[in-house]
Amino acid sequence: MSIDVDTARRVAKLARIRVDESDLPALADELNGIVTFMEQLNAVNVDGVEPMTGVTPMRLKRREDVVTDGNMPERILKNAPDAREGFFAVPKVVE
Amino acid sequence: MLDLTYTAPKPKVIQGAKDDWELVIGMEIHAQVSSNAKLFSGASTAVGAEPNSNVSFVDAAMPGMLPVINEFCVEQAVRTGLGLKAAINLRSAFDRKNYFYPDLPQGYQISQLYHPIVGEGEVIVEMGPGVARHVRIERIHLEQDAGKSIHDMDPTQSFVDFNRTGVALMEIVSRPDIRGPEEAAAYVVKLRQILRYLGTCDGNMQNGNLRADVNVSVCRPGQYEKYQATGDFSHLGTRCEIKNMNSMRFIQAAIDYEARRQIAIVEDGGSVTQETRLYDPDKNETRSMRSKEEAHDYRYFPDPDLLPLEIEQAWVDDIAARMPELPDAKKARFMGDFGLTDYDANVLTAELEAASFFEAVALGRDGKQAANWVINELFGRLNKEGLAIGESPVSAGQLGGILDLMQKGEISGKMAKDLFEILWTEGGDPAEVAAAKGMKQVTDMGAIEAAVDAIIAANPDQVEKAKANPKLAGWFVGQVIKASGGKANPAAVNDLVAKKLGM
Amino acid sequence: MSKSLNSLTIAEARDGLRKGEFTASELTGACLTAIDGADALGAFVHKTPDIAREQATAADARLAKGDAPDLCGIPLGIKDLFCTKGVPGQAASNILAGFLPEYESTVTSKLFGAGAVMLGKLNMDEFAMGSSNESSCYGPAVNPWRSDDRELTPGGSSGGSASAVAADLCLGATGTDTGGSIRQPAAFTGIVGLKPTYGRVSRWGIVAYASSLDQAGPMAKTVRDTAIFLQAMAGHDAKDSTSADIPVPDFEAALTGDIRGKKIGIPREYRADGMPAEIAALWAKGADMLRDAGAEIVDISLPHTQYALPAYYVIAPAEASSNLARYDGVRYGHRAKLSQGDGITEMYEKTRAEGFGAEVKRRIMIGTYVLSAGFYDAYYNRARKVRALIKRDFDQVFAGGVDAILTPTTPSAAFGLGEMASADPVQMYLNDVFTVTVNLAGLPGISVPVGLDSQGLPLGLQLIGRPWEEAALLNHAYVLEKAAGFVAKPGKWW
């Protein structure tokens, strides 16, 4: 499985990272190098192996259904590049 | 308990320009879990707050923030699963669904793709007395709701509010077992009813707390049966998904439109493109949501911030032991215990509060009479005033009191209705009010006989006519009751009039 | 006292403060002066002298009252990955330019609760992705050690932390370790660095790189300091679902120096082809030291070792691609200037293209690729299965009675800044070859400085312990430290 320019373009698009068309071949090459490195994994027999989920068996932590947080819109919005009237503002989304 | 067995309804058939077509519909219902706090944070789920005020740093996906699951939301999902007679998975896991959208601050939604908490179940959707569709549930999973983008506050900007971000949703996925627009709506009604009985979702569709994605495809008659026999979807047509429907009426209209659109395409020799569509109620049409299609690769993978969710069978058993009686069981019991008709039982079990009200009235009384009064007098009056059952000025105890007075023969049906009116507006104890208002049916046979005799004596012409035509005897009965000021017991009057007229 | 205050160890400073030999304010002042004189190291990227002085004053008051935990008044540096309230936290990335957290990470709040003093935020590789600190938006941190005129890397990603501790700018520094980011820089700078068992230290408030691998830990001058420091960082946190609710033992008390009868494993698979003779000799020397202390040295096998790096470079970028999706220009940090007609997609794409550096972009895209439709099973799920096998290798070794495993920390001493610039990314990844298995298996690992190479640069050995047995691991490290007697310090050139 090798990464061509189209794949590199699609991956950049999925990742929402702008890559100039002229940079795509180099990107594809670079990603290919890494993917080739990863393909060493194909040599491992993983039949019947369950993917690892944790270091030691632990029970997933739970919280109670109690409101303990919120009511701080100014702190939520404080770092926003653009906040208006209590909302985050972004370039118009066309549906 | 009465065992309700059903026959399957006929699938809806749409006549195309050339052929007959059947519909195949599957639904994904997003039901907001009733809880105080969000699925993975301690922020409130309350509606109507100022923008971005029910938001924690976790909900806003600030750097370094981590999710911790709300156990009650898990319990609600288990309860819902039990309510749909579904398998509960003691081990489930959360996955991230990755996509970019301004109302999705993490850049992913935490959901359960690979290992949902609830497995296969079933909903019985009645389409008429003795006729019902068994809709199989494929799975229920827990996931986070997104925030809200507002597009009409500014010409160039969209505004984003995260109050809803991270609220727990149950996605209830059906098999493609629904065969027409009416069945689809009835399925949503039934599911909503069950969720409300369980208390796991308030079912408020206007607020978007219950909304449906509808998968529609069309096929020629006979194809669906082939799919059923083999499980092979290739016997069915290509489906389109209509997103985010929150009204029963629109669900039906959208399915109907979409089916006809697909039929036209196929009959024209074209093929349906699998895609996501949006229903526009103003134009009554569906249109493609290409923006959602653009990069349809969600890159699901297990959320590394959360371990697998393991629950104990004992905990599930405990939830099961505390389950309320559900609509199907309640309906069967009402029909069996109170002798209700299928129709009345449906009406009375539609909402849990109404069912409980009825049951309080009917307990130890004539069930059918109680049903008549609750449905006709009480519901009629509530509807007229736009009130919910919980707001009824007449309590179950008061209505029961009215029925008791009637049962004992102390008041007539007419009086009972008057008494109901008085209690509705003024309140009070039925027996005391009846006494105070002099509402007492006369059953003193001597007094009634005297009144009958007087009317007969005063109306010889009518007597002759009545003897020729016994149906006219009712006139005498009415006159006697009227003369008694409505207090004479109609049954007693009836008997006496018949006797006196020699009928 | 002959030593300048900033060159004290945590244990020495703790004892001196309690005896009243000097105050926390004096100690902090000495560190602040050293920091101001060390800009050439690029270690501190946001200095917080006001906070430091205020905390030192408060610590002095606590010391005066006799209510002073071990870290009370101890000046520390904090890796830029930790969110500290009101202090810039950028994870060394332009995409978080201007971000001022409104919250305090669990680790820093525990440290401050114990009376520690924050001197500032420390340089690192952008989003902790790197092994040389060269991917930082601030420019690289520089190793205080050098053998000639070249500037050397302090390692990465916790390069600023390592540089600052080695140059005596602070008494200890927080680090984080996803594939070796504490241990490798510690080895490159002649200090001690410990990556705890996954779940021992809360991740809440630490900018995530790869959630299933990230673990914060202490970097300090000695094993004892590391024990004291870890004590204050460790413990259960209800806000982190992966934090372990198990008791934290007294780490310093575990430093008995007695490892007689303990079994130390030497994994044969780590004896890679082309291992420099100096590294091999150091490793053998370390084994001898532990044997001389009464431990039994055994040959062990960890058969899946060679697959650890490729598994890591699937799993870590996959998680990172998702973890870093939140940097989208909407709620905090950088947002690109937009052109007429640009919509939301352009906003995302330009913001992320401008805000992320090359290595971060590369890992996000690799991660995106391995999770994308059709490749998930081939790459990501396979890597998770290999990860399970790697963990099983360790489980079997520990089940066979091995108490700790000894390996080199790095395949070489520190290399020159810029030397890897033209190499392909995979070459840089090979730096993690000895450390990354520990993250994949979730185990505790510690790097201890053991000697100098022929150029006079420090080299470290790594000890790997059983899960949750940091106390025993520290004791092994303590023995190794004592036997090695590593006392060299970099000559001050900055």
Per-residue pLDDT band at C1 (split at 50, 70, 90): very low
> What DSSP state is assigned to residue C38?
T
B129 and B335 Cβ atoms separated by less than 8 Å: no
Q: Does C427 touch chain A (CB under 8 A)?
A: no
> Taking an 8 Å Cβ-Cβ cutoff, which residues of chain A contact chain B?
10, 13-14, 16, 51, 53-54, 58-73, 76-77, 82, 84-95
- Residues of A with Cβ-Cβ distance to B37 under 8 angstroms: 63, 65-69
Say what percent of chain C tops pLDDT 70: 100
- Residues of B with Cβ-Cβ distance to C328 under 8 angstroms: 100, 102, 107
The angle subtended at Cα B308 by Cα B200 and Cα B79, nearest 5°, is 20
For residues B129-148, average pLDDT: 96
Predicted confidence (pLDDT) at residue B291 exceeds the cutoff of 70: no
Which residue in C242, C353, C426 is closest to A34 by CB distance? C426
Interface test with A, best of C93, C331, C359 (most A CBs within 10 A): C331
The pLDDT of residue B122: 96
For residues B435-448, average pLDDT: 78
Predicted confidence (pLDDT) at residue B479 exceeds the cutoff of 50: yes
Domain with C170 in it:
5-256+442-484
Using alpha carbons, select from C68, C38, C32 the residue that is nearest to residue C50. C32
Interface of B with C in 157-186 (CB under 8 A): 158, 160
- Residues of B with Cβ-Cβ distance to A90 under 8 angstroms: 102, 157-158, 160
Predicted confidence (pLDDT) at residue A13 exceeds the cutoff of 70: yes
> What DSSP state is assigned to residue B432?
H
Structure tokens at C270: 């780590």
Interface test with A, best of B34, B41, B52, B108 (most A CBs within 10 A): B52
pTM: 0.92
- Residues of B with Cβ-Cβ distance to A91 under 8 angstroms: 156-158
The pLDDT of residue A94: 73
- Residues of A with Cβ-Cβ distance to B67 under 8 angstroms: none
Per-residue pLDDT band at C427 (split at 50, 70, 90): confident
For residues B42-55, average pLDDT: 96
For residues C10-34, average pLDDT: 98
- CA B258, CA B279: separation in Å to the nearest integer? 9
Predicted confidence (pLDDT) at residue B451 exceeds the cutoff of 90: no
- CA C103, CA C101: separation in Å to the nearest integer? 5
The pLDDT of residue C243: 96
For A68, the closest chain B residue by CA position comes to B42
Order the strands of the B301-302 sheet from edge to edge: B108-111, B95-98, B301-302
DSSP output for B182-241: HHHHHHHHHHHHHHHHHTS----TTTTSEEEEEEEEEE-TTHHHHHHHH--GGGSPPPEE
- Contact yes or no for C208 and B306 at CB 8 A: no
Q: What is the ipTM of this complex?
A: 0.97
CATH of the domain at C446: 3.90.1300.10
- Residues of B with Cβ-Cβ distance to C319 under 8 angstroms: 301, 304
Lowest model confidence (mean pLDDT) among B459-473, C237-251, C342-356 = B459-473
Q: Which residue has the higher pLDDT, B479 or B264?
A: B264
Q: Does B71 touch chain C (CB under 8 A)?
A: no
For C390, the closest chain A residue by CA position comes to A52
- Distance, CA of B384 to chain centre: 20
Using alpha carbons, select from C382, B426, C204 the residue that is nearest to residue A47. C382
Interface test with A, best of C384, C386, C439 (most A CBs within 10 A): C386
Task: Match domain B445-500 to its CATH number in 2.60.40, 1.25.40, 2.60.120, 1.10.10.
Answer: 1.10.10
Mode of pairing for the β-strands spanning C404-408 and C263-267: parallel
The residues of chain B that CATH labels 1.10.10 are: 445-500
- CA A28, CA A3: separation in Å to the nearest integer? 6
In the three-class reduction of DSSP (H, G, I as helix; E, B as strand; rest coil), residue C218 is classed as strand
Interface of C with A in 346-375 (CB under 8 A): 346-350, 352-353, 356, 361-362, 364-366, 368-370, 372, 375
Report the neighbours of C using a cutoff of 3 or more CB pairs below 8 angstroms.
Answer: A, B
- Residues of C with Cβ-Cβ distance to B107 under 8 angstroms: 322, 324-326, 328
The pLDDT of residue A95: 59
The pLDDT of residue B4: 62
For A58, the closest chain C residue by CA position comes to C244
The pLDDT of residue A1: 55
Using alpha carbons, select from B251, B168, B248 the residue that is nearest to residue B202. B168
Per-residue pLDDT band at B224 (split at 50, 70, 90): very high
DSSP output for C335-386: -----TT--HHHHHHHHHHHHS-HHHHHHHHHHHHHHSTTTIIIIIIHHHHH
- Contact yes or no for C322 and B65 at CB 8 A: no
Q: Does C426 touch chain A (CB under 8 A)?
A: yes
Does C116 fall in a domain? yes
- Contact yes or no for B63 and C207 at CB 8 A: yes
The pLDDT of residue B413: 86
Q: How close is the nearest chain C Cα to the Cα of B71, in Å?
A: 13
Predicted confidence (pLDDT) at residue B294 exceeds the cutoff of 70: no
Amino acid (1-letter code) at residue C418: G
- Per-chain mean pLDDT for chain C: 96
- CA C227, CA C456: separation in Å to the nearest integer? 27
The pLDDT of residue C205: 98
- Contact yes or no for B63 and C89 at CB 8 A: yes
- Contact yes or no for B37 and A68 at CB 8 A: yes
The angle subtended at Cα B328 by Cα B325 and Cα B331, nearest 5°, is 90
What are the beta bridge partners of residue B128?
A: B131
CA atoms within a 13 Å half-sphere pointing along the CA-CB vector of C51:
20
For A35, the closest chain C residue by CA position comes to C366
Q: Which residue has the higher pLDDT, B172 or C374?
A: B172
For B71, the closest chain A residue by CA position comes to A62
Q: Does B113 touch chain C (CB under 8 A)?
A: no
Does C369 fall in a domain? no
- Distance, CA of C170 to chain centre: 15
For A73, the closest chain B residue by CA position comes to B53
- CA B86, CA B139: separation in Å to the nearest integer? 8
The pLDDT of residue B2: 47
Q: How close is the nearest chain A Cα to the Cα of C122, in Å?
A: 22
The pLDDT of residue C143: 98
Q: Which residue has the higher pLDDT, C430 or C146?
A: C146
- Contact yes or no for A73 and B50 at CB 8 A: yes
For residues C447-474, average pLDDT: 97
| Residue A14 CB partners (closer than 8 Å, separation 6+) | B295, B297, B299, C368, C372
Our count of domains for chain C comes to: 1
- CA C313, CA C303: separation in Å to the nearest integer? 19
Interface test with A, best of B158, B305, B312, B315 (most A CBs within 10 A): B158
Q: What are phi and psi of B84, to 5 degrees?
A: -100, 20
The pLDDT of residue B292: 52
Rg (CA), chain A: 23
Q: How close is the nearest chain A Cα to the Cα of B415, in Å?
A: 51
The domains of chain A are located at 5-43
How many Cβ pairs within 8 Å bridge chains B and C?
Answer: 101
DSSP output for B116-181: -SB--EEEEEEEETTEEEEEEEEEEEEEE---EEE-SSSSSEEEEE-TTTT-EEEEEEE-S-B-SH
How many Cβ pairs within 8 Å bridge chains A and B?
Answer: 137
Using alpha carbons, select from B97, B131, B132 the residue that is nearest to residue B114. B97
CA distances from C36 to B228, C33, C169, C376, C494 (A): 77, 5, 9, 49, 11
Q: How close is the nearest chain A Cα to the Cα of B35, in Å?
A: 7
| Residue C169 CB partners (closer than 8 Å, separation 6+) | C6, C31, C34, C35, C38, C41, C43, C44, C77, C119, C163
Question: Is cis: bond before C157, omega within 30 of 0?
Answer: yes
Q: Which residue has the higher pLDDT, C122 or A95?
A: C122
Other beta carbons less than 10 A from residue B224's beta carbon: 20
The pLDDT of residue B474: 83
The angle subtended at Cα C93 by Cα C88 and Cα C99, nearest 5°, is 30
Catalytic residues of C: 79, 157, 181
Predicted confidence (pLDDT) at residue A54 exceeds the cutoff of 90: no
- Contact yes or no for A7 and C329 at CB 8 A: no
Which residue in A38, A56, A93 is closest to C467 by CB distance? A56
The pLDDT of residue B245: 94
Does C234 fall in a domain? yes
Rg (CA), chain C: 21
